[in-house]
């Protein structure tokens, strides 16, 4: 009997560990997803509109005034992106110049991601540039070099052969005002400048490569975006934050549920220890089963007794695992037990739907594991075992 008790507690421990691992890992994936979304939200706007075909949006034809009038739309900014060569002293780097309208920082959280200087695009009506940390590093750029501007070169359109390579470029100087650092995809690619500077340097006026929109804080985003799509028509594609980086979010979500399935398989093996312990218990209690039958207990009653025993093992392990997992997540969130880099703690986030999914999975597997031996509890073999 003591051996059966030990095996039962081993089964409880297996369910406990599997459940706790599910809680911790799913919370870690939720936290990582939330952390990535926060980083991308610092650069991306709520809604991005791009031409369905070609590169350009005609600013005159674009229904900007109609979109501004929609309920839930707080701000609209035309965007002009163009590849350029940037030189700082003798150092040079190819990046993307992003021209934005005034108030762009209010549409995103980029002003909270500054690691040097400030997010200033106009200083006494003089255009300034805000540079990604990767771009600044490659240029060996310093904000203290007040006599050295960034020289920006943009290729001219339809330029024929020329003896002087510089004739193939428009160039203009601009002083940097700050450096932002979000993540390498942005840090090594972008230099943000006023839209007027980008238009002057590229030679394109009344043209945008995209239009970005900020929605009101309490707006029904799905409804507002649907209204924007109707107003914009088929000439433009309208993307929310998720759709702007759809592949990234799908990969994160797919990894999360792939880990969930792997852990469920491990949990399945752990829970099926219950089958072994219950089978041994049925053999051990054969005489008691016959006594219960003699007293009038039906087959269903005996099945329920052993089924309840198996479910009790699973539920005790699941409850303990949920509490232990939540405790670890709490400690990580408040005391930073594990760091994702030298400064930031690995993010964790508990979602109720994940806890319900874990509980439902453990209960389902536990029910299956308990049903198999309990269904044999009144079989001829179990009765004759002793």
Query: What confidence score (pLDDT) does residue 291 get?
Result: 75
263 vs 226: which has the higher pLDDT: 226
**33 and 56, same domain (yes or no):** no
What is the phi/psi pair of residue 77, to 5°? -135, 125
Residue of 77, 103, 23, 55 whose CA lies nearest to 327:
23
pLDDT grade for 381, boundaries at 50, 70 and 90: very low
Average pLDDT of the chain is: 88
**73 and 175, same domain (yes or no):** yes
91-100, 186-195, 261-270: which range is least confident on average? 261-270
Query: What confidence score (pLDDT) does residue 4 get?
Result: 67
> What DSSP state is assigned to residue 63?
-
- Which pLDDT tens digit goes with each residue over 308-359? 888 898 899 999 999 999 999 999 999 999 998 778 899 999 999 999 999 9
Domain range enclosing 313: 2-39+248-383
25 pLDDT above the threshold of 80? yes
Q: Which H helix or E strand runs over 57?
A: strand 57-58
**93 and 193, same domain (yes or no):** yes
Domain boundary among 243, 272, 292: 243
Q: Which residues contact 166 (CB under 8 A, 6 or more apart)?
A: none
Residue of 352, 325, 332 whose CA lies nearest to 15:
325
385 pLDDT above the threshold of 60? no
Cα distance between residue 34 and residue 168, in whole Å: 45
Query: What confidence score (pLDDT) does residue 382 get?
Result: 45
Query: What confidence score (pLDDT) does residue 197 get?
Result: 96
* Token code pair at residue 229: 């799509």
281 pLDDT above the threshold of 80? no
Q: Which residues pair with 292 in a beta bridge?
A: none
95 vs 204: which has the higher pLDDT: 95
**210 and 325, same domain (yes or no):** no
- Which pLDDT tens digit goes with each residue over 295-304? 777 777 877 8
For 222-256, letters b (16+ CB in 10 Å) and e give eebbebbeebbeeebebbbbeebbeeebeebeeeb
> What DSSP state is assigned to residue 193?
E
Tell me the C-alpha to C-alpha distance, in Å, between residue 212 and each of 45, 67, 174, 201, 277: 6, 11, 24, 21, 62
Instruction: Compute the Cα dihedral for 300, 306, 310, 311 and give only its sign.
Output: positive
384 CB neighbour count, 10 Å cutoff:
9
Instruction: Compute the Cα dihedral for 332, 338, 344, 350 and give only its sign.
Output: negative
246 pLDDT above the threshold of 90? no
Share of the chain above pLDDT 90, in %: 58
**153 and 221, same domain (yes or no):** yes
Cα distance between residue 238 and residue 333, in whole Å: 36
- How many degrees, rounded to 5, is the angle at CA 209 between CA 177 and CA 54? 155
Q: Which residues contact 184 (CB under 8 A, 6 or more apart)?
A: 134
* Token code pair at residue 143: 């904000």
Total domains present in the chain? 2
Q: Which H helix or E strand runs over 214?
A: strand 210-215
Tell me what the mean pLDDT of segment 53-81 comes to: 93
Query: What confidence score (pLDDT) does residue 95 get?
Result: 97
**58 and 207, same domain (yes or no):** yes
351 CB neighbour count, 10 Å cutoff:
13
Domain boundary among 243, 273, 302: 243
**237 and 256, same domain (yes or no):** no
303 CB neighbour count, 10 Å cutoff:
18
306 vs 321: which has the higher pLDDT: 321
Query: What confidence score (pLDDT) does residue 48 get?
Result: 96
Whole-prediction pTM: 0.77
366 CB neighbour count, 10 Å cutoff:
24
Tell me what the mean pLDDT of segment 44-72 comes to: 93
* Token code pair at residue 367: 């029910």
Cα distance between residue 173 and residue 308, in whole Å: 78
Instruction: Compute the Cα dihedral for 275, 280, 281, 283 and give only its sign.
Output: positive
Query: What confidence score (pLDDT) does residue 129 get?
Result: 97
**303 and 231, same domain (yes or no):** no
Domain boundary among 224, 243, 262: 243
Tell me the C-alpha to C-alpha distance, in Å, between residue 167 and each of 75, 149, 254: 38, 20, 50
371 pLDDT above the threshold of 60? yes
**216 and 269, same domain (yes or no):** no
**193 and 271, same domain (yes or no):** no
Tell me what the mean pLDDT of segment 69-87 comes to: 94
**31 and 59, same domain (yes or no):** no
pLDDT grade for 377, boundaries at 50, 70 and 90: low
Cα distance between residue 154 and residue 167, in whole Å: 11
* Token code pair at residue 306: 């052993």
> What DSSP state is assigned to residue 203?
T
How does DSSP assign 73-102, residue by residue? Answer: EEEEEEEEEEEEEEEETTEEEEEEEEEE-T
283 pLDDT above the threshold of 80? no
* Token code pair at residue 61: 């034809």
**222 and 358, same domain (yes or no):** no
3-state SS, residue 229: helix
305 CB neighbour count, 10 Å cutoff:
16
């Amino acid at each position: 009997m003591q051996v059966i008790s030990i095996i039962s507690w081993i089964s409880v421990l297996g369910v406990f560990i599997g459940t706790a691992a599910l809680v911790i890992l799913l919370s870690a994936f939720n936290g990582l997803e939330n952390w990535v979304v926060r980083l991308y939200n610092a650069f991306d706007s709520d809604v991005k509109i791009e031409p369905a075909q070609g590169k350009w949006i005609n600013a005159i034809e674009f229904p900007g005034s109609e979109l501004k009038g929609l309920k839930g739309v707080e701000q609209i900014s035309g965007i002009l992106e163009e590849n350029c060569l940037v030189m700082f002293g003798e150092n040079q780097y190819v990046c993307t110049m992003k021209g934005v309208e005034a108030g762009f920082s209010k549409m995103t959280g980029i002003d909270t991601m500054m690691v040097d200087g400030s997010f200033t695009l106009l200083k006494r009506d003089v255009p300034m540039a805000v540079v990604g940390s990767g771009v600044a590093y490659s240029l060996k750029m310093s904000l203290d070099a007040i006599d050295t501007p960034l020289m920006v070169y943009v290729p001219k359109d339809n330029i024929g052969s020329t003896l002087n390579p510089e004739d193939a470029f428009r160039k203009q100087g601009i002083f940097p005002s700050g450096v932002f650092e979000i993540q390498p995809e942005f840090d090594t690619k972008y230099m943000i400048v006023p839209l007027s500077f980008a238009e002057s340097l590229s030679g394109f006026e009344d043209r945008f490569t995209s239009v970005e929109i900020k929605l009101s804080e309490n707006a029904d985003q799905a409804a507002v975006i649907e209204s924007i799509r109707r107003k914009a028509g088929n000439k433009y594609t309208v993307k929310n934050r998720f759709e702007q980086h759809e592949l990234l979010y799908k990969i994160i979500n797919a990894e999360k549920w792939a880990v969930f399935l792997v852990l469920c398989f491990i949990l399945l093996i752990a829970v099926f220890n219950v089958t072994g312990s219950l089978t041994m218990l049925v053999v051990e209690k054969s005489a008691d089963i016959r006594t219960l039958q003699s007293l009038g207990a039906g087959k269903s009653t005996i099945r329920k007794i052993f089924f309840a025993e198996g479910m009790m093992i699973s539920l005790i392990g699941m409850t303990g695992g949920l509490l232990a997992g939540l405790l670890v997540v709490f400690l990580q969130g408040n005391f930073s037990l594990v760091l994702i880099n030298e400064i930031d703690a690995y993010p964790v986030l508990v979602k109720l739907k994940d806890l319900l999914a874990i509980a439902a999975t453990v209960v389902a597997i536990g029910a299956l594991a308990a049903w198999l031996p309990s269904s044999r509890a009144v079989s001829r073999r179990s009765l004759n075992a002793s």
